[in-house]
Structures are given as structure tokens and as C-alpha cells.
Amino acid sequence: MINSKTISRTVKDLCIEANLKLRPDVVKALKSSLRKETSSKGRNLLSILLENCSIAKNERIPLCQDTGMTVVFADVGQDARIQGDLTSAINKGVAAGYKQGFLRKSIVADPLIRKNTETNTPAMIYYDIVPGKKLKLTVLPKGFGSENKSKLYMLNPTAGYDAVVNSILKAVKEAGPDACPPYVVGVGIGGDAAKACYLAKKALTKPVNFLSDKPHFRKMAKELLAKGNKLNIGPLGAGGNTTLLGVNILSMPTHIAGLPVAVNISCHSLRSAHKSL
Amino acid sequence: MKTIQLPIDEKTIKTLKAGEMALLSGKLITGRDQAHLRFTEALNKHKKLPVAIKGQTIYYVGPTPAKSGEVIGSCGPTTSRRMDAFSPLLIKNGLKTMIGKGGRSKEVIKAIKKHKGVYFITIGGAGAYLAKRVKSARIIAYPELGPEAVSELEIRDFPVITAIDSRGKSIF
């Protein structure tokens, strides 16, 4: 039996951990970029980002002041036994994490009236039913500078490989310097419009530059990384050959009349943390 | 690296070139989306602003809450482009220096060029690093806006890059 107090405490800890400690694969990608960056201004900026990671971890100051809208992926085992209201437990955990972790409360209750909920809830929870008995919780604090650069392209079913690549590059070009490059680009291809967007965001929970099990998407990710880094947007838009840290592509079946391509951009400090209960 | 005292006078602003790095020290005010909306409403209604903006420096930021013993929480810049609709009016009314991240619109560049201002970018996402370069912080207007309240900060050796100079040259 997985009880709601444990769920709340886990979510609280994940919120804080994700905001203070940068994911090891992202740190690795930043260090690798620093070695390859040819612009001295770019190297300077990447070094400061790595120094920021140390300060955040050691002094327990959030990596970024936008501690995000709390996206939670809850993979619920088909045979998991959960005591209490799962949604309520997750939201209680987020509220506790954002209070005790001195994180910023960035959620407004209504998109037009805009009164702050002061708890950073509700979390954006995506439930999935998976085999087994466990409950896997992945917290992804998503900053809105990057979220605001999200794109959905409903391509023609005959559009083809190059059109998909060009759409994704277009999204990166339109983000330009504004979403704190170098970016990790989450891509969702297929599904319906909503699933494509969901996949694009879920892709950000995977390790940077993880390999798709489909050879054409492995090729596409590599090609996008190379082309993206030729755009000369550079770290924080100040120029250089590090515009992208990685491209993560997830795909699923889609309709004969469509080819949805969704892009969800993450800034250089892609934050997520997970635990299975 | 060049060190510059705030507020920056017009003579110094004219010497700044797009692409140069510098360290800023001195006092500035903070403001982002909601504050800009309120400033604009006040100016359009010919009402007094809660803070003087003539010659002023504004930093687009909404920090995390400070822990006990801290001056300020994580305080990196927010995306400047969201303030583009409001900036030209503030620049026309005397705002000289803006600090944020990312690009600006043609109208903002035009206003900077016309009124001899400057736009700096600082390091987006380096909120913890930048927090160490803030020596004092106090809320001076709109406390009800929480993280979007207007504060006065004193910064020391705060790294910036001149992104748009008074000639209207932009690094983007």
C-alpha cells in the first residue's frame, strides 16, 4: 500500500531536489559544450552556468528564479495500491516543497484574473497506467520563458522527413536568444495534437541526447543537433557554436491525414527528478 | 573588465558598445510584467509613479523568496521581450538603462536610439550566481504582487553584456 503521506513527502523532496541540483546528464552536456565552444564570450557564459550549479547545490539557492510550473508525470502501476486521493497528495507535496524549499510561487488561479494561488499548485499532472505495482513520480519544474516558445505544427501526411526537420529548426530559430540557450529540445511526433505536445514535454524527462529506438529518429536528432549548432545563437544568445545541448525525440502512431510535430524547448538548466514508490 | 557605476549618465551610456562585457555596481529598481502594466496605466492617466524613473535602471526579475540570513533568493533575469510593449513609453519618460535577457523589438531599439539609453543582458538561468552579487534588497512598491513587486536592489560586480547600445546597434 502506497500511502498519501509518503507520496506528498516524496513529491516535496523531488520539487526541492530538481530546483537545487542540476541533472548529472545536463551538467555533463554543459561541460562537454564548454570544451567545444569556440567563442570566448560563449565559454565565459558556459563557465558561469557551471559555477551557478555549484553555488545552487552548495548553498541551497534555486538554480533559476523561475522555479517553474510543476509538471508531474505519475506512472501508476496497473496493480499499485494507493491509499487516499493521489491528485491531492501530489498537490500537497508541491505546496510543501515550494514553501519549505523557498521556491517561487508562480501559478495564478485564472488565466485572465491572475490572482496568485500562493502554493504553486495546481501541478500539471500527467497520469499513465503502466505494468506492475509501483508508482513512479517524475517532477519537471518547467520555466515559462522556454514554455512560451512551444510550437505545434500540424504537417501534411506527405510532408516527409525534411519538412519535419525544418519545422523543428524553425521553432529553435523563433526561440532565438529568449529562452536561455543552449537548449534541450523536446520533440513529439505523431499522436493527435495533444499527444504530440505531451510527448514533446515527456521527451525532456529522458537523458539529454537519449537514443530513439527508431533509426530515422536517431538520425534526425543527430542532424538537428548539428544544424541547430550552426545557427550561431550561442549561449544566452551572445553567439557561438553551442545553441543546442541535445534533441530528444519521442514518437507514436498517428492519423492517415496528419503528421503532428510538437516542440517543447527547455533552457540550459533542464530540471527534473524522479522516484519510484 | 569594464566596471560601471549605476545610475549610468548619458555621457557614459554613449561610450558603451554592443557586445562589450561589463560589471555593474550601484542601485537599481526591479519590475516585470505586472509592474510595467501598472506603470503604463499610471503614465497614461497622468498619475504619479510610485518610483522615480528618470535616469533610472530597471532589472526585469521576479526572485525566489530569501531564506533567513539571505539578502535575496535566486534572481536571474526574465525574458525582456514581454516588456517590449511598455518600454518605449518608460524610455520616453526618462528610463535610461534596462537589464534582462533575450532580444527586443524594433520599437524598443528605436526608443533606445532616440533617447540615448542602453539595454544590457545578464546571465539567464544563473539565479544563484547572480544572487551573490546583490548586496541589499527592499520592496518599494506593489508588495501585493509578491515575486513581481518593485524592489530597490544594490548590486556589486554584476556581469552584463551591452546588448543594444545608444546607437541602436544590437547583438541579436
Given CB atoms, is B22 within the 8 Å cutoff of chain A?
Answer: no
Residue B172 within any structural domain of the chain: no
Residue B85: band (very low, low, confident or very high) from pLDDT cuts 50, 70, 90: very high
Q: What is the pTM of this model?
A: 0.94
Evaluate whether residue B171 is within a structural domain. no
Q: Measured between CB atoms, which of A45, A66, A116 is closest to B123?
A: A45
Residue B6 maps to a domain: yes
Q: Which residues of A touch B147 (CB under 8 A)?
A: 65, 104-106
Cell of A156: 501534411
Classify residue B22: in a domain, yes or no: yes
A116-158: pLDDT as tens digits: 999 999 999 999 999 999 999 999 999 999 999 999 999 999 9
pLDDT at A242: 97
Nearest CA in chain A to B77: A65
- Domain of residue B104: give its range: 2-164
Q: Give me the interface pTM, i.e. the ipTM.
A: 0.93
Contact call for A176 and B172, based on CB within 8 A: yes
Interface of A with B in 17-76 (CB under 8 A): 41, 44-45, 48-49, 51-52, 55-56, 59-67
The pLDDT confidence band at residue B87, using thresholds 50, 70 and 90, is very high
What is the pLDDT, as a whole number, of residue B16? 97
Number of domains in chain B: 1
Query: pLDDT (tens digit, 9 = 90+) per residue, A30-47?
Result: 999 999 999 999 999 999
Interface contact B125-A52, CB threshold 8 A: yes
3-state secondary structure chain B: CEEEECCCCHHHHCCCCCCCEEEEEEEEEECCHHHHHHHHHHHHCCCCCCCCCCCCEEECCCCCCCCCCCCCCCCCCCEHHHHCCCHHHHHHCCCCEEEEECCCCHHHHHHHHHHCCEEEECCCCCHHHHHCCEEEEEEEECHHHHHHCEEEEEEEEEEEEEEECCCCCECC
Domain assignment present for residue B43? The answer is yes
CATH number at residue B43: 3.20.130.10
